[in-house]
Amino acid sequence: DQQVKQNSPSLSVQEGRISILNCDYTNSMFDYFLWYKKYPAEGPTFLISISSIKDKNEDGRFTVFLNKSAKHLSLHIVPSQPGDSAVYFCAYLGIQGAQKLVFGQGTRLTINP
């Protein structure tokens, strides 16, 4: 069972506008979520994270929102830039101890000039 779902395989946004990437989860026991960004032929790079005790976390142009009642996570990028074109993965931490990450399927974001 996919416990983290990214229902949009791709998203196209104009440069300068807001990009919103979404992620839904099923297990209410998750307490830490992360977003990773991946360029072709490179490993994923950590972008931003949020703990379930918060509903928002900001880092420059990137903001992550957590709606626990809806079991929904979103990443906002404002303003979007061409260098933001990449695949974005949401992830949550699995069982405690080894801190195993469980990833969504990914969303390919394309920023158009």
Partner 1 sequence: DAGITQSPRHKVTETGTPVTLRCHQTENHRYMYWYRQDPGHGLRLIHYSYGVKDTDKGEVSDGYSVSRSKTEDFLLTLESATSSQTSVYFCAIRETAYNEQFFGPGTRLTVL
Cis geometry, peptide bond prior to residue 79 (ω within 30 degrees of 0): yes
Closest by alpha carbon to 90, among 43, 36, 42? 36
Residues 56-93 as b or e (16 or more Cβ within 10 Å = b): eeeeeebbbbbeeeeeebbbbbeebeeebbbbbbbbbb
User: Under the criterion CB under 8 A, does residue 69 sit at the interface with partner 1?
Assistant: no
Question: Which stretch, 10-18, 29-37, 57-65, 75-83, contacts partner 1 (CB under 8 A)?
Answer: 29-37
Among 19, 44, 66, 75, binds partner 1 (CB under 8 A): 44
Among 21, 89, 109, 111, binds partner 1 (CB under 8 A): 89
Among 32, 52, 61, 76, binds partner 1 (CB under 8 A): 32
How many residues touch partner 1 (CB under 8 A)? 24
Residue 42: φ, ψ to 5°:
-130, 165
Q: Position of tokens 């979520």? A: 33
User: Under the criterion CB under 8 A, does residue 62 sit at the interface with partner 1?
Assistant: no
Please report, as ranges, the residues that interact with partner 1 according to CB under 8 A: 6, 32, 34, 36, 41-46, 49, 89, 91, 93, 97-106
